[in-house]
Amino acid sequence: MKLHLAALVLVATLLGGCTYHQAAPGVYSTTPVNSFDRSWEAAQAAFADQGVPITREDRAAGIMGGTRNGIDVTANLRTQADGSVRVKFNTSGITSRDPDLINRMLDAYNRNMGR
């Protein structure tokens, strides 16, 4: 009986030392990554992934471009009214040298966006 009583006192003492901290009421939010920033970085990474050196960038206008093997690649990024970002890749020049480059650019962009 004394052993049971001692065990109960020990358990009560240990549990009494535990604390639980509840978050204070209020609104909590994390700073979201700006959609344009994320898309811009993914487009830059797509250029790097496909070996297209970026030779021109105008972040304010949402345009970046480069040339690889005679093919000019341009990315246009536009923020839409709903906050989403529209990204469009274009190729011009001697596209017959690498007709699949545009598709690989888009695939690399999507991969860098986590899609």
109 contacts: CB under 8 Å, gap ≥ 6: 42, 43, 45, 46, 75, 87, 89
What's residue 115's pLDDT?
Answer: 86
pLDDT in tens, 76-98: 999 999 989 999 999 999 999 99
pLDDT in tens, 9-51: 655 555 555 555 454 455 444 445 589 999 999 999 999 999 9
The structural domains of the chain, ordered by start, are 35-112 (3.30.310.80)
What's residue 22's pLDDT?
Answer: 52
Q: Where is pLDDT greater, at 1 or 90?
A: 90
Determine the Cα–Cα distance for residues 106 and 115; give it in Å rounded to an integer. 11
What's phi and psi for 111, nearest 5 deg? Answer: -65, -45
pTM of this structure: 0.70
